[in-house]
Structure 1
Amino acid sequence: MLQFDEDTARILEDAYQGADITRRRRASFDVLAPSPGDRLLDLGCGNGLLTLDLSRAVGDTGHVLGLDPSLDMLDLARARCAGRGNVAFREGHAEALPCDENSLDGAVSLQVFEYFDDMRPTLTELFRALKPGGRLVIGDMHWDTLTWHSDRPARMVEMCRIWDRHLACRDVPARLPALLAEAGFRAISTTPLAFCDTQLRPDGLAAMLIRLMTAYAIQTGALAEPEARAWAQEQQDLARAGRFFFSLTHFICQAQKP
């Protein structure tokens, strides 16, 4: 697991609440369309930002369960949602949901499925836990859509290749529709959400990825620290020169249990 210093942690927190990640989170929220009284699952809830949004929407008569395998993330999520009686958090894994059969009105998962070696067990569990008519929303990047300018294209390719190692599946949106249908879901559709920047914004997705990718390359020993930091510095230099370009597409896939 990546370890972050205080400065990096602050920058990542800014990014999570910045325009790009907020836009991505809001897109999943809007597609799920939570209603008062709904019982919902936030699968891979992380630091609880989406869980908090959902808890406001379902109100006192509803309930939101946040599930995550990381105790550190759950601590952040609990602190963020402190005092909200309609929220609970559990440590757990997607292949064994702590939910009764036909108990959920909806479930949402944001950038989680790319870490599953096999998505089928999780989809089967979600199908079991959702009520008939229950809604499922899964948001993930398609990493083949990444376009990132560099004057050292070979080094950029290498950094992206290194980053791919932390993923189990880099093309989740392309695989999901068939797997959802196989699991029994219907009314399946996919909506793209494109991010494209010619500025390196401090709270943006690109700035967050630069931090994460640099730390991952160094901590795993996949690239010498001076070279990894030079890659990150080049993006700062390109931005100052007005030559920065970054584009990546996120996809929101929705489905329904018949």
Structure 2
Amino acid sequence: MASSRIAWANRRAGSPARDAAVAAQYLTSDDATSYAASYEGWRPAARYYCSRLYAVDEALRAGPRGRLLDVGCGPGMLVRHLLDTRPEKFQITACDQSAAMIDAATARSKGSGHVELTVARVEKMPFPDKHFDVVVAMGVLEYADAGDGLREIARVVRPGGLVAVTMLNPLSPYRLVEWCLYWPLLRVLGRVERLLGTPRHAADVSGIRAIPLARLRRMMRDTGLTPQDAVHYDVTPLVPPLDRLARRWSRKWRAHPERTVSRRARPWPGTAYLVTARRRTDA
């Protein structure tokens, strides 16, 4: 995600500092509204969300029916999409640690009797063991204790159930430039502007901790999940700030999101990836 609130992880920060940085991003209804609005238009964030939704949608297409849990549901974009496209396939439960996000998701799913929403962290969810047929975790493990989050996801999905997890790709050229060059330079520029009395730029520490694909697969196996498929999404040869130049030739992604995903890591890995897994029947 490319936003002044999405910067590289402050790995030196302690857990309380990281939790505070994460929580501060989505405290109010305005924060939730702004997040939902980032799905629209032609900015890099919209391209990212469009590609991610396509990748998740494809992962769910051949998956089981029944009870679906959307962990870290945000303002309910996936919930609304599933209600519009597959209203009979899933009985949806969704949770997010932000009360503002749950309020937004409630408003977005209004009128449906198939959705249960609650405030909860992925590391400690108030759901029974082996309860869900499908668990989706979009953009949540980067902000959480990924190991604890995966253990909770494995706990609440039934044996043989489907898990779909997305993660920012820390090894992609895009993320390396964004986190190691672009955002640090933006912070320096912001400090200079504040000294001059004309602050215009900022890049707050977000608390993100991204995990390479190979390591996430190992972590899944350790929790009783068997990784199956992996797809890179938001595939782009551009890096910040070049991708912020809204050229007509770069706008094909909204009409053809299938062109933004790839199962190859070369030549241009996506800025993020999705892994599907099944819970082992002996776990």
- The answer on 1:125 being equivalent to 2:152 is yes
The offset of 1:167, in angstroms, is 2.7
Q: CA deviation at 1:93?
A: 1.0
Partners of 1:148 and 1:122 in 2: CA distance: 23
TM-score, normalised via structure 1 length: 0.68
Q: What displacement does 1:10 show?
A: 7.2
Q: After superposition, give the CA deviation of every residue in 1:183-210 in whole Å (9 maximum; x if it has no partner).
A: 11114332111134455366xxxxxxxx
Instruction: Classify 1:100/1:32 alpha carbon distance in 2 versus 1 (closer, same or farther; 3 Å).
Output: same
Contact kept in structure 2, 1:177 and 1:188, CA below 8 Å: no
1:52 match: 80
Does the residue aligned with 2:149 lie in a helix, a strand or coil?
helix
Q: 1:159 to 1:178 in 2, by over 3 A?
A: farther
Match of 1:140, SS state, is strand
Please tell me whether residue 173 in structure 1 is matched to residue 173 in structure 2.
Answer: no
| SS of equivalent to 2:219 | helix
Q: Tell whether the 8 Å contact from 2:133 to 2:161 is kept in structure 1 after alignment.
A: yes
Label 1:9 to 1:146 Cα distance change in 2 as closer, same or farther (>3 A). farther
Identity of aligned residues (%): 23
The answer as to whether partners of 1:141 and 1:173 remain within 8 angstroms in 2 is no
Kindly report which structure 2 residues correspond to 1:98-247, keeping only aligned pairs within 5 A, or say none.
98-116=126-144, 118-147=145-174, 157-159=184-186, 165-193=205-233, 194-197=235-238, 200=244
User: Is the Cα–Cα contact under 8 Å of residues 217 and 227 in structure 2 kept in the other structure?
Assistant: no
State the distance in 2 between where 1:97 and 1:125 align.
Answer: 7
- Contact 1:55/1:87, CA 8 A, preserved across alignment: no
Give distance in 2, aligned partners of 1:37 and 1:253: 19
> How far did 1:11 drift?
6.6
The alignment yields a C-alpha RMSD, in angstroms, of 3.7
Classify the secondary structure of the residue corresponding to 1:190: strand
1:257 is matched with which residue?
A: 279
Alpha-carbon separation, structure 2, partners of 1:3 and 1:105: 29
Please state how far the C-alpha of 1:65 moved relative to its aligned partner.
Answer: 0.8
Name the CA distance, whole Å, in 1 between partners of 2:132 and 2:219: 20
Aligned mates of 1:180, 1:148 — CA distance in 2 = 23
SS of the counterpart of 1:171?
coil
SS in 2 for 1:64: strand
User: What SS does the aligned partner of 2:122 have?
Assistant: coil
Q: What's 2:14 paired with? A: none
- Structure 2 SS opposite 1:99: coil
**Structure 1 residues 96 and 4 mapped into 2: Cα distance closer, same or farther (>3 Å)?**
closer
Shift of 1:99: 1.8
In 1, distance between residues paired with 2:236 and 2:64? 31
Shift of the 196–7 alpha-carbon distance from structure 1 to 2, 3 Å rule, reads farther
| Residue 53 of structure 2, aligned match among 4, 21, 25 | 25
Mapped contact 2:26–2:100 kept (Cα < 8 A): no
What TM-score do you get using the length of structure 2 for normalisation?
0.63
State the shift of 1:126 in Å: 1.3
SS of 1:147's partner is helix
Shift of 1:155: 6.2
Corresponding residue for residue 86 of structure 1: 114
* C-alpha spacing 1:177/1:148, structure 2 compared with 1 (3 Å): closer
User: Aligned to 2:38, what secondary structure does the other structure show?
Assistant: helix
Amino acid at match of 1:80: R
* Cα distance in 2, alignment partners of residues 6 and 73 from structure 1: 7
Structure 1 residue 2 displacement after superposition: 3.9
Structure-2 separation of matches of 1:112 and 1:6: 19
